[in-house]
Amino acid sequence: MGFLAPWFLAGVVALGVPVFVHLLRRQTTTPSPFSSLMFFERGIQSSTRHRRLRYLLLFCLRTALVALIVLAFANPFVRRANAGANGTLLMVVVDDSFSMRVGNRFEDAKRGALAILAAKPGGQRAQVMALGSQLQVLTQPVPDAGTLKAAVEALQPGDSKGSFGELGRGLRALTEMVHTPIELHLFSDMQRTEMPGNFADMVLPGNVKLVLHPASGAGAGGANWAVESVEAPAQLADPKDKRRSRVTAVVAGYATPAASKTVSLIVNGKVVASKRVEVPASGRVKVELELLDVPYGFSRCEVRVAAVDGAVDAFPADDASVFAVRRSDPERVLFVHGSGEARSAVYFGAALGAAAESSFVLQSVSTEQSGDVDPGRYAFVALSDVGPLPTILENALVKYVKDGGSVLIAAGTSTARGSGGRGRIPVLGADGVEGKYYSREGAGFAGVAQVDSTHPVMGDAGVEKDGEWPELKVFYAAKIDAAKLGARVLVRLGDGTPLLMDKPMGEGHVLLLASGLENLTNDLPLQPGFVPFVDRAARYLSGEDRLAGARVVDSFVQLRTTGAGQTASAGVEVVDPDGKRPLALAEARTVQSFPLTRRGFYQLRFANGKDAVVGVNPDRRESDLAAIPEDVLKLWAGSGGDGGQAMPSLSGANIRAKETANSLWWWVMLLALVAAVAECVVAADHLGTQREEA
């Protein structure tokens, strides 16, 4: 306990006033008739009795009233640790990104978080969160220390890339509902690559006080070598074909001296190739390795870098990169063309054979020869300017697509050759399609105005940059209502006509080109981007891009076609790197995509029955261990309320509970009021009538 204004305690001398009042009493006598006083001797009556204290209860009340008033002006207070009564929410956020695996960073962060929670007053609410690529809420705001401690102790380092921008966005969304002050303690290695491109994304709201706890050793990450990237075929038909079975890896050094390294290619646990390279100081080196004979099916491959000269690597966890390769015989592709048009098969077949990563064999047939063909025996089917199809083939194609197959349709001029110049697109059943001949108009052709580069088929085929289709000239296009068809437009012409569309259908896809695949309706086969387009389209339609290869942690793999209605028999199966099945039975029948949150190999069985193995690697930006500069950290800590602060390090940090002074002025004044009322009552009772003393 203490006093905010101790000089007012000098007023205790006023306690002498009640004493003086009680002692200073006048002697009162009542006159009595008497015959004569001549025989009486004059005497002096003693006043000792009148100087005695009388009415002790009244005296105590008056003394207490004066003492309480003096005490109130001295403003007494008591020190208490911060409790939930002040409304401040304690928030503990632990960074569990991949880079926190360096040394003892994650263990130090957990110990620091537990120390903060242990120093928390019993009544204060607190909340525990984990920060990776997303801000994960582990507990609700609760005062229970056991729940909070269990949440921190259960934390494990993840494989995601940290994002301070996600922390800022999450806190801004939270403070829209929580308006009380928040004291945020962030335990992280403060990695520079976790900063967003825009500093404003990580700025915290005004009611958040940020306290930074850099992990021990975070400022000096140490020398780190890592396998930065790997280029390898996802599917392989002939391992002896060196052009297609080549594996290219990039080894990078972060804050490293020049060093000698051994780069090894491991297939199914066996080293099949190895090279020694010289990595320059803080530089990169490209290594080419031959992927030797691999068995049929899926092979689990790994590129690993190891030290030769004994250089110490601060972060061995990123010394390997995994990927999967599927070996199979070349898959067949059915190409159906119109009876009078065979040029498109030549262009398409040449582009398919020239594609570096494709392993397909084209089988070309005319419309008249396709009546007894079974589409289920092919990786995908291409229809080029076919016009009306045999009923038996069209019905088989519809079932083929709904069961998970895919079809590429090039409308061509035959589409509009129906009755009155209005035709029909096979498989999709779109009737009344009209054709538009740009070659007969003034400009002579139409150019591409919009490209959806986010679609796997398009890749980087942008229009405003050096893409694949910016110089495309279209002389003819079928006028198709993409919205009515329910298709996604990938390429749109200058007049708004959709040129390339993707239509989900059951478990499969229909890729629709509103022009032809020859050089008469457009000059696409003559463009440099035609081969890459055919390569990506073939891998997308065959599903090869999902069956093997490598992904990055926190990416998604599509398990079934979006929006397709599923039955109980169309379940999917996922086995994670730990050999566990994370999907429940109900989820396996309805889930559209699955997040790859762990590094290692995932085994997948898609809704169309195809199997896959995918290698998953952490984001290599996590390998750069450089920390955010100190001035930027101070700027960030001061972006919230009350000018946050940064702790120097978790090691040796002396974390104590904060105390606040709680004033007792109102309580003292309340007691003074009670004493004043009691004094009035007692005084009225005792002093209302003067009584004669005997």
pLDDT tens for 202-260 read: 998 888 999 999 986 655 567 899 999 999 888 888 777 777 788 999 999 998 999 99
Neighbour-count burial for 193-222, b at 16+ CB within 10 Å, e otherwise: bbbeeeeebbbbbebbbbbbbbbbbbbebe
Q: Is the pLDDT of residue 180 over 90?
A: no
Cα dihedral sign for 685, 687, 691, 694?
positive
Q: What is the mean pLDDT of residues 93-115?
A: 93
Rounded to 5°, angle at Cα 554 from 553 and 560: 110
CA distances from 490 to 116, 382, 500 (A): 53, 18, 5
CA distance 72 to 663: 10
Q: Is the pLDDT of residue 27 over 60?
A: no
Q: Is the pLDDT of residue 648 over 50?
A: no
Q: What is the mean pLDDT of residues 643-661?
A: 49
pLDDT at 462 (0 to 100)? 45
Predicted confidence band at 463 (pLDDT cuts at 50, 70, 90)?
A: very low
pLDDT at 46 (0 to 100)? 53
pLDDT at 653 (0 to 100)? 39
CA distance 551 to 542: 18
Q: Is the pLDDT of residue 305 over 50?
A: yes
More confident position, 451 or 689? 451
Cα dihedral sign for 212, 216, 217, 221?
negative
3-state secondary structure 580-649: CCCCCHHHHCCCCEEEECCCEEEEEECCCCCEEEEEEECCHHHHCCCECCHHHHHHHHCCCCCCCEECCC
Within its chain, how far is the Cα of 95 from the centroid? 12
Rounded to 5°, angle at Cα 171 from 169 and 174: 110
pLDDT at 654 (0 to 100)? 41
> CB under 8 Å to 391, separation ≥6 — which residues?
none
Q: Is the pLDDT of residue 652 over 80?
A: no
pLDDT at 577 (0 to 100)? 94
Q: What is the DSSP letter of 474?
A: B
Predicted confidence band at 568 (pLDDT cuts at 50, 70, 90)?
A: very low
Element (H, E) at 394: helix 391-402
Q: Is the pLDDT of residue 691 over 50?
A: no
| Other CB atoms within 10 Å distance of the CB of residue 516 | 30
pLDDT at 129 (0 to 100)? 96
AA letter at 656: R
Predicted confidence band at 280 (pLDDT cuts at 50, 70, 90)?
A: very high
More confident position, 560 or 611? 611
Reference 160, options 80, 245, 95, 114; nearest CA is: 95
Domains and CATH numbers, the chain: 84-220+626-657 (3.40.50.410), 224-324 (2.60.40.10), 331-545 (3.40.50.880), 557-618 (no CATH)
More confident position, 368 or 30? 368
Predicted confidence band at 336 (pLDDT cuts at 50, 70, 90)?
A: very high
Predicted confidence band at 506 (pLDDT cuts at 50, 70, 90)?
A: confident
Specify the 3-state DSSP secondary structure of 146: helix
Answer yes or no: are the C-beta atoms of 382 and 334 closer than 8 Å. Answer: yes
Predicted confidence band at 81 (pLDDT cuts at 50, 70, 90)?
A: low
CA distance 361 to 349: 8
Element (H, E) at 476: strand 476-479
Q: What is the mean pLDDT of residues 184-205?
A: 92
More confident position, 519 or 38? 519
Using a pLDDT cut of 70, give the percent of the chain over it.
83
Specify the 3-state DSSP secondary structure of 132: coil
Tens digit of pLDDT for each residue in 628-647? 999 999 999 886 555 555 55
List strands edge to edge, sheet with 235-236.
235-236, 320-327, 297-307, 259-267, 270-279
> CB under 8 Å to 351, separation ≥6 — which residues?
525, 530, 531, 533, 534, 535
Q: Is the pLDDT of residue 120 over 50?
A: yes
* Average pLDDT taken over every residue of the chain: 82
pLDDT at 438 (0 to 100)? 87
Q: What is the mean pLDDT of residues 602-607?
A: 88
Q: What is the mean pLDDT of residues 568-574?
A: 73
